[in-house]
Structure 1
Amino acid sequence: MTGLEQLLGQELHRQRAADLERAAEEQRASRAARAARDEERRTGEAGEPASARGTGRRGRIAVA
């Protein structure tokens, strides 16, 4: 293996490692966002009254 081939191999390895790290970070961010959405749904912290949850009136003003 020549010096150039070795350098190219090292660069390819660095690029693959960087790609894997980026993919792992994106996956962690996606999981964190999904967990936050699930937690918000579970606890009802969406800023709506408890009486409106689960009734289909989400975000609407009830007019009597």
Structure 2
Amino acid sequence: MVEIEVDKYYSNRGYYPYMTAQVFDALEAAYLSGAATALVPETDYYVMVSNINASLCKGQTATR
């Protein structure tokens, strides 16, 4: 599992198309409970980051 910041991802709708359902659901549950972070499956997190990186202009990468 990977711990990620709720505000960084859930508050940024631009990331939604790149999230797996598991990441979105974990972020939403954490947000609704008032948590600052959410635990998401490591594989799903890296799929999301890979999807984001693939959509960026060449030479840019998303950071954790």
TM range (shorter): under 0.3
Q: Which has the higher contact order (CA 8 A, sep 6+)?
A: 2
Greater radius of gyration (CA): 1
Q: Give TM-score, length-normalised by structure 1.
A: 0.27
Q: Give TM-score, length-normalised by structure 2.
A: 0.27
